[in-house]
Amino acid sequence: MPRSAVVSALLATAALGGCAAAPLPPGFAAAAANAPEDQPLRLWVAGDAVVAAAAAVGRVGLPQPVRTAADAIAPAGETLFAGREWGPRGDGWRIEKHYRDGADESFRSVLLDDAGSVLERSHSVPPAKVPAPVLLAAMQVGRDVQRCEIVSGAVREESWRATVRDGAGRTFVVDIDLDGRPRRTCRVVTAAVAVR
């Protein structure tokens, strides 16, 4: 059995648990098999379905148009993640960066298509500047709100995204509309995959 088929079978069994959800996207198994050892795979789970998945490729694995666009949108900073992502906005390349300016820290994320066009971008907002309804919506999932980001599509701001940890140490991502109403909550699972 090819290496990517084994990864696909293991992920389907582990992540989907035999439920009737859609299979993981084409290309994910191969990306998972070739992902760097120090970067776990990411799965976003809502209910009984994997709704998004990502595998790191490192900066050198990004297509040149993606690297160029990412550097223009989110220059400098420390790269936390660079990889392929499959999710609600389609297939793309996710780049996440951390910035530090003295005691201030911030986060930027961009999802680009193969040509480097923006599918999504986001940046963190300091807790004191996050609208109260957004914080309250996030805290319905867990008290430890680790980060709130304002999320834009290709054209305009569309929503908020809160990363929250609950009392059991589980990490969730809460999508919240601009008025502070929660739209969807996903559990974020980092995964290690055995490849034979």
Label residue 49 exposed, middle or buried (CB < 10 Å: 0-12, 13-18, 19+).
Answer: middle
What pLDDT score was predicted for residue 8?
38
Q: Is the model's pLDDT at 17 over the cut of 50?
A: no
User: Do the beta carbons of residue 91 and residue 77 sit within 8 Å?
Assistant: no
86 within some domain: yes
36: in domain:
no
CA-based nearest residue to 110, from 119, 100, 101: 119
Alpha helices per DSSP H over 17-154: 28-34, 64-73, 132-139
CATH of the domain at 179: 3.10.450
Distance (Å, whole) CA 12 – CA 161: 27
Rg (Cα) of the chain, in Å, rounded? 17
Q: Are 74 and 101 in contact (CB under 8 A)?
A: no
Per-residue pLDDT, 145: 96
At residue 6, the pLDDT reads 32
**Is residue 55 included in any domain, yes or no?**
yes
pLDDT (0 to 100) of residue 9:
33
pLDDT tens figures, 43-93:
999 988 889 999 999 878 999 999 999 999 999 999 999 999 999 999 999
Domain housing 47: 43-189
Higher pLDDT, 33 or 179: 179
Asked if residue 121 is part of any domain, the answer here is yes
Q: Are 114 and 66 in contact (CB under 8 A)?
A: yes
**Joined tokens for residue 56:** 């790191």
In a domain, 28, yes or no: no
Mean of pLDDT over the chain = 86
The tens digit of pLDDT for each residue in 135-173 reads 999 999 999 999 999 999 999 999 999 999 999 999 999
Mean pLDDT of 113-129: 96
Domain count, the chain: 1
pLDDT of residue 24: 72
